Amino acid sequence: MFSSILLAIFPIFLGTVQALTAPVVARQSTANSCPIVWTEISTTLTQLFLAEGQCTDAARAAIRAAFHDCFNGACDGSLILANECSNTENRGLVRLCDSLGSLARDKGVGVADLIQFAAAHAIRTCPGGPAVPVSIGRKDSNVASPMGILPSPFAPATALIDLFASKGFSVTELVALIGAHSTARQFSVNASLSGAPLDSSPGRWDTQFYAETKSGRAPFTLPADKALAESSAGSELFELFAESRAAWASAFVPAMVKLSVMGVYGDLVDCSEALPGGTWSRKVRREADGDRREHSPKQVGGLL
Ligand SMILES: *[C@@H]1O[C@H](CO)[C@@H](O)[C@H](O)[C@H]1NC(C)=O
């Protein structure tokens, strides 16, 4: 079921059960600095995630993997360490899981941390992608999370909304997260259209997913995304995010951070500086470029 969507589903997620059930939540430590190994890892991930100025299938898989590691339990690396990747609901992730598992071993870092770092890196690597703060210090687990919790690509809007609410995510957070389908392709929801993107620019992080899903112009639309776009709770949010990249980013970034620490407790170390574009000047330049693309009709037209 849900598995089918290669990367894409991830956006729907979740978050926060832990905030509801535990008094102690993950907190950022200011005492420690990010280990230099994360800068080396970042260099390796850029080679995997960026090709010809666009983000790659591996980047798409990394974004989806972050959701799949966390939403059915905690962000604990069990996606890889308990081989959840071989489950049908994670179809399409095996190669990425192998790559990240090897990289974690080679570099001596935690798998749960690497999965979340890779997702933040991938989002940043997709042209137009926001800087999502990422921290390190999760505990790994080799105990598999239950199957059947991840959202189905065929879910009705009310089921999606209820599922996310049960994990502590609002409708706004749900709709913001699902925008990660901006860079997604589907492989098995309709196998005869395997590889079909969910918007016309799957190599870029942009708002076309919202506009095209709402209008029915996307190359492929998941039934669940269509249902959410047409629902009374989701419709206006699709319109808002289609119109405003800034509104989407300001909803997406905190929702993604929340997702990335589901079920995570204790002190974490901020490693955002190890992400690409992590220096102030590069960040500003990239954002300026993104704004130009977003607001220039000529350049936007060129993308279509
Ligand atoms: C898959 O897509 C093809 C081509 O658009 C369509 O004819 C077919 O009905 C679709 N199958 C399903 C199960 O939706």
| Distance from Cα 162 to the centre of ligand 1, integer Å | 28
Number of structural domains (the chain) is 1
Residue 303 Cβ < 6 Å to ligand 1: no
- What are residue 269's DSSP bridge partners? 29, 136
Annotated ligand binding at 78? The verdict is yes
Annotated ligand binding at 199? The verdict is yes
Annotated ligand binding at 182? The verdict is yes
For residues 252 and 172, give the distance between their C-alpha atoms in angstroms, rounded to a whole number. 9
Question: Closest residue (by CA) to atom 13 of ligand 1?
Answer: 190
Residue 194 Cβ < 6 Å to ligand 1: no
CATH code for position 100: 1.10.520.10
The answer to the question of residue 185 being in a domain is no
Q: Which residue range forms the structural domain that includes residue 90?
A: 29-149+262-286
For residues 118 and 111, give the distance between their C-alpha atoms in angstroms, rounded to a whole number. 10
The answer to the question of residue 133 being in a domain is yes
Comparing 27-36, 156-165, 219-228, which segment has the lowest mean pLDDT? 27-36
The answer to the question of residue 278 being in a domain is yes
**Residue 297 corresponds to which tokens in the numbers above?**
């009709």
Question: Closest residue (by CA) to atom 3 of ligand 1?
Answer: 192
User: Closest by alpha carbon to 2, among 116, 182, 148?
Assistant: 148
5 versus 60: the higher-pLDDT residue is 60
For residues 97 and 180, give the distance between their C-alpha atoms in angstroms, rounded to a whole number. 19
Question: Closest residue (by CA) to atom 11 of ligand 1?
Answer: 190
| Distance from Cα 218 to the centre of ligand 1, integer Å | 14
The answer to the question of residue 115 being in a domain is yes
The answer to the question of residue 296 being in a domain is no
Residue 188 Cβ < 6 Å to ligand 1: no
Give the total residue count for the chain: 304
The answer to the question of residue 46 being in a domain is yes
Alpha helices per DSSP H over the chain: 17-21, 37-49, 57-70, 78-81, 94-107, 111-125, 157-166, 171-178, 208-215, 223-230, 235-243, 245-260, 280-295, 297-303
Comparing 14-18, 102-106, 118-122, 246-250, which segment has the lowest mean pLDDT? 14-18
User: pLDDT-derived band of residue 31, with 50, 70 and 90 as boundaries?
Assistant: low
* Contact (Cβ atoms closer than 8 angstroms) between residue 140 and residue 100: no
Q: Are strands 27-29 and 267-270 parallel, antiparallel or unpaired?
A: parallel
Distance, first Cα to last Cα, the chain:
31
pTM of the predicted model, to two decimals? Answer: 0.83
pLDDT by residue (tens digit) across 261-300? 999 999 999 999 999 984 333 443 444 444 433 333 322 2
For residues 19 and 41, give the distance between their C-alpha atoms in angstroms, rounded to a whole number. 30
The pLDDT, as a whole number, for residue 121 is 97
| Distance from Cα 3 to the centre of ligand 1, integer Å | 18
The answer to the question of residue 3 being in a domain is no
User: pLDDT-derived band of residue 32, with 50, 70 and 90 as boundaries?
Assistant: confident
